[in-house]
Amino acid sequence: MQIYRLPALSDNYIFLLHDADRQIAAVVDPAEASSVLQQLQQLGASLVAIFNTHHHGDHVGGNTQLLKAFPQATVYGGIEDRGRIPGQHVFLREGDRVMFADRSAEVLFVPGHTQAHIAYYFAPVQSDEPGDLFCGDTLFAGGCGRLFEGTPTQMVQSLSKLRSLPDQTRVWCAHEYTLKNLQFALTVDRQNSDLQSRFETVKAMRRRGEATIPSLLADEKRTNPFLRWDQPVLQAAVNSDDPVRTFARLRGMKDQF
């Protein structure tokens, strides 16, 4: 399974999964259709699946046009997004599995950004290979999604699921927010040498116009404050020893950053 990262809108990423043996493809969170159709044409591949993480327009905006071009494609989304994802055929729950290119992805229910948000985790084929996590707007490189519909408790529970995945998991999040996220992280975790180093690396990458996605979950565990709500340095930064309250205060500070 080859993964293509397609820039879209102002800062979105669409992910195209390609099975070269069968010349079929799947797409994750198509914000728009044009870049997907162009990539499919270049590959000579047919679209067979659309994997949506949640109902927001910058994640499902291309569904309708893609279905017009490939009416046989199956649209997947969370069961609680019923009626909100264009063309949805399959309604997924926690623990369900989806298949593509002989790889199986586990469906994770991760509410917080929205009430119905899901993620797709493709475990590695070989033990020395990375897994692939498509997490929409739940976990970002260096950050996490805003709480539009869910609660801090839900988001901590959701991020805990993602944090428990193997360190060598590639995090394919849907926005290029990394530099701004790390700038905020330094305001609450300024003595973190791993964070300082990552910030300098990302700053150089963005200066060269390079994408910072995917990130590696091991790096997120060391540098992302929204996966470190149980660390004393972060709790001290927001004057709380309660994990959920620590997360909520960090998220509130980021909202105003």
Catalytic residue chosen out of the listed positions 18, 29, 55, 56: 56
18 assigned ligand-binding residue:
no
Say which of 113, 117, 189, 219 is annotated catalytic.
113
58 in active site? yes
Is 117 considered catalytic here? Answer: no
89 an active-site residue? no
Catalytic residue among 18, 54, 55, 117: 54
Which residue of the set 58, 96, 132, 189 is catalytic?
A: 58
Residue 113 designated active-site? yes
Q: How far apart are CA 80 and CA 30, in angstroms?
A: 19
- Residue 54 marked in a binding site: yes
3-state helix, strand, coil in the chain (%, to 5): 35, 25, 40
Asked if 3 contacts 132 with a C-beta cutoff of 8 angstroms, the reply is yes
User: Is 137 tagged catalytic?
Assistant: yes
Q: Which one, of 213, 222, 224, 205, lies nearest residue 143 by Cα?
A: 224
137 is in an annotated binding site: yes
Three-state DSSP at 147 gives coil
Q: Residue 117, annotated ligand binder?
A: no
Q: Residues of 51-60 as b/e, b for ≥16 C-beta within 10 angstroms?
A: bbbbbbebbb
Amino acid at 173: C
Q: Is 89 annotated as a binding residue?
A: no
Write down the catalytic residue from 81, 96, 137, 189: 137
Instruction: State how far Cα 105 lies from the chain centre.
Output: 14
Which one of 59, 81, 132, 219 is the catalytic residue? 59
Is 175 assigned to a binding site?
Answer: yes
Question: Does 189 show up as a binding residue in the annotation?
Answer: no
* CA distances for 130 relative to 10, 125, 142, 175, angstroms: 28, 8, 19, 21
Closest CA to 117 of 38, 65, 54: 54
Binding-site residue positions: 54, 56, 58-59, 113, 137, 175
Binding-site residue positions for Zn(2+): 54, 56, 58-59, 113, 137, 175
Q: What is the set of active-site residues?
A: 54, 56, 58-59, 113, 137, 175
